[in-house]
Each structure stands twice: as structure tokens, then as C-alpha cells.
């Protein structure tokens, strides 16, 4: 009977330890406070002080989930496009900076909703206004949603390890090799097509996450990784000694756009204007350089 006490003590210890770490008061340090929400805090200011520039893009007739806020759906976990910073709560990445800049151009605040890739488009106009999450513009997708003008070009690339000897000038040179791709991506579709039509012989490892592909390459389990060129650039920039980009297919660019609900054409017009303005200012190029190019 008295063992119940013991159980009680143990249970309270559990509660104590779990709660103990959770009741921390954030923002006790002034240096920390502003960084808590770099994306949300900053853009509000220009909206208030720089009314003339804001008026450049007309937002009348645009319907938003929350007044004055652009709510963005992202699948966080696809570096360097979108990722959590080390604090586990701050989203960082190319798309995050891009979305923040677009919202700022529109004179809106920005709010990110982290969501799973499955069903991400179902949530448009339900849980968020737009999806900015490395979404490739395809004709199939255009049937159910509309896109802004593209904000980044993407190609298919082959990445190999430093000890790779052969030369690769087209995807056909991958004949007889073992490659890794991320499941259900353009790379997967492309390489499966090569394999299924028996154009070349391939052993394919289809992974859930793109990191797995690169880990497999590093561990020598596969000979090459076929992946989006942007992702490849990101990995190469981080680890120039480990990976080499052997080939990039420049013939067929894919383009990433902002996915918007079918009814929301007014928002599409405004976002297009914002993207055009950002291109003109050079932000798009700067942002690309910031996230994908290693300093020489």
C-alpha cells in the first residue's frame, strides 16, 4: 500500500522536471528580445512610417485571413529554403526572407504556419493565405490553384562525392550507378522515368528527406544524388569539400512561385507587383547570393 507514496513521489518528480524547464520567462535579456521574431517584428515599422511607398501596391479587394497580416504556409524542414533555427522556433531560410520581403512590400505583417507537405495546398484559404515553400509551378497544380510570377529558377543537378572519377555530361551517364533521390520530387519523377523506359540501368534509393540522400552519399552507399540545383548549391556552399556538382541540366528550368487560392486573383496581382519590385531592387539576387553562394 505504501508503495503508492513512492509512485506519487515519482510522478511528482516527472511533473516537476517537465514543468520545471518549461516555465522559463523569455526575453529577460534585452539582446535576445528583438531576435525572437525577426520576421514578424520588423516589417510593421515601414508600414507605419513610410505610407507613400506602401501605397504603391494596391491592396483593395484583397481578402486575407487576418486583417493586415499575410499568413504563409510553409513546410519547415527543407533547408536552405525553410528551416528552424537552433532555438527551434524561429523559421529561417530563403523562402522565409522572401516572404518577409513580399509582405513588407505589401505593407503587411507576416505570420508563418508550419505544416506538413501532405495536404499543404488543402490549407490555402483555410489555414493560411498563400504557400511559399519551394513550390514548383506545374500545369497540374495550376488546375487547383493560381501562382505568382516565379521568384527563383531551379534545375536538376547531379551531386557526387570527391572521389568520383567518371565525367557526367547528361543524365544518361548515370548508367549502371546507384543514385539517391528524394521521394515524390521532380528528381524522382525524372529518374524513375529514365529507369522505367529502360533508357539506362539504375539502382534508386528513394528517401523521405533530402538529407538522407546526402548522408548516403557521404557514407558511400550511393554513387550520386540527383536533386534540385538550389538544394545542391545550398549543400555545396556549406560543405565544399564533401560534395561536387557534376552536372546541371540547364535545358529545363523549373520555377518556384507563390501558391495562392484560386479565387484570390486580387492577391495574385499584388504579389506579382511585389515580386517585380523586389527583382528590380536586386533583392531576389541578393537573397540568392546570401543563401546559396559560398564566399570564395
Partner 1 sequence: MKIIKRIVDIKNWKRSSKSITILIIAVLFVFTVLSILKPSEKDMMEHASPQMKQIIEENNKVDVKDEENNSKAKNLIITYNDLWVVSYVSFTTTGANAIKESYVGFLGEEYNAKSGMAKFSGQMINYTYRMLGCGENVLHGAKLTLLLTTLSMFFGFILSIFLALGKISKNFVIKKLCSAYIFFFRGTPLLIQLFVVYFSIPAIFGFSWKGLFEGSGEAVYMGAFVAALIAFSLNSAAYCAEIVRAAIQSIDKGQHEAAKALGMSYGQTMGKIIIPQSIRRMIPPLCNEFVMMIKDVSLVFAISLMDITTISKTIMSSEGNYLVFVPALIIYLIITAIFTFIFGKIEERLSIYE
Which residues 214-243 are close enough to bind partner 1 by CB under 8 A? 214-215, 233-234, 237-238
Comparing CB distances to partner 1, the nearer of 67 and 196 is 67
Largest CA distance in the chain: 76
Comparing CB distances to partner 1, the nearer of 26 and 68 is 26
The only residue of 5, 139, 165, 220 in contact with partner 1, by rule CB under 8 A: 5
Query: What's the CA gap between 99 and 141, in Å, rounded?
Result: 20
The span of 133-141, 153-161, 172-180, 211-219 binding partner 1 (CB under 8 A) equals 211-219
The span of 117-125, 129-137, 142-150, 257-265 binding partner 1 (CB under 8 A) equals 117-125
The answer to whether residue 167 forms part of the interface with partner 1 (CB under 8 A) is: no
The answer to whether residue 163 forms part of the interface with partner 1 (CB under 8 A) is: no
Query: What's the CA gap between 178 and 197, in Å, rounded?
Result: 17
**Within positions 61 to 90, which residues make up the interface with partner 1, using CB under 8 A?**
76-80, 83-90
Q: For residue 282, what are the CA distances in angstroms to 101, 158, 199, 287?
A: 12, 29, 42, 9
Query: Could you tell me the smallest distance in angstroms from the CB atom of residue 289 to partner 1?
Result: 8
Closest to 99 (Cα-Cα) out of 274, 289, 254: 274
Query: What is the DSSP track for 214-236?
Result: HHHHHTTS-SEEEEEHHHHHHHH
Size of the site for partner 1 (CB under 8 A): 87
Please say whether the beta carbons of 223 and 164 come within 8 A.
Answer: yes
Comparing CB distances to partner 1, the nearer of 69 and 173 is 69
Amino acid at each position: 500500500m505504501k508503495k503508492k507514496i513512492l509512485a506519487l513521489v515519482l510522478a511528482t518528480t516527472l511533473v516537476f522536471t517537465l514543468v520545471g524547464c518549461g516555465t522559463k520567462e523569455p526575453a529577460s535579456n534585452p539582446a535576445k528580445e528583438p531576435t525572437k521574431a525577426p520576421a514578424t517584428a520588423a516589417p510593421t515599422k515601414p508600414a507605419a512610417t513610410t505610407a507613400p511607398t506602401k501605397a504603391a501596391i494596391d491592396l483593395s479587394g484583397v481578402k486575407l485571413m487576418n486583417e493586415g497580416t499575410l499568413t504563409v504556409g510553409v513546410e519547415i524542414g527543407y533547408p536552405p529554403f525553410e528551416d528552424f533555427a537552433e532555438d527551434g522556433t524561429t523559421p529561417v531560410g530563403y523562402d522565409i526572407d522572401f516572404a518577409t520581403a513580399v509582405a513588407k512590400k505589401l505593407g503587411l505583417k507576416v505570420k508563418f504556419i508550419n505544416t506538413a507537405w501532405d495536404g499543404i495546398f488543402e490549407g490555402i484559404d483555410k489555414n493560411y493565405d498563400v504557400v511559399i515553400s519551394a513550390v514548383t509551378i506545374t500545369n497540374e497544380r495550376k488546375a487547383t490553384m493560381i501562382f505568382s510570377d516565379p521568384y527563383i529558377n531551379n534545375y536538376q543537378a547531379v551531386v557526387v562525392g570527391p572521389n568520383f572519377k567518371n565525367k557526367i555530361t547528361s543524365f544518361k551517364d548515370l548508367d549502371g550507378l546507384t543514385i539517391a533521390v528524394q521521394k515524390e520530387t521532380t528528381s524522382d519523377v525524372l529518374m524513375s522515368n529514365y529507369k522505367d523506359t529502360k533508357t539506362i540501368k539504375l539502382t534508386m534509393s528513394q528517401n523521405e528527406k533530402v538529407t538522407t540522400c546526402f548522408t548516403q552519399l557521404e557514407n558511400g552507399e550511393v554513387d550520386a544524388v540527383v536533386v534540385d540545383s538550389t538544394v545542391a548549391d545550398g549543400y555545396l556552399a556549406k560543405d565544399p569539400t564533401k560534395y561536387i556538382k557534376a552536372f546541371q541540366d540547364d535545358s529545363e528550368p523549373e520555377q518556384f512561385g507563390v501558391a495562392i487560392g484560386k479565387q484570390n486573383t486580387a492577391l495574385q496581382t499584388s504579389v506579382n507587383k511585389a515580386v517585380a519590385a523586389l527583382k528590380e531592387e536586386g533583392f531576389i539576387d541578393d537573397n540568392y547570393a546570401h543563401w546559396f553562394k559560398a564566399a570564395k
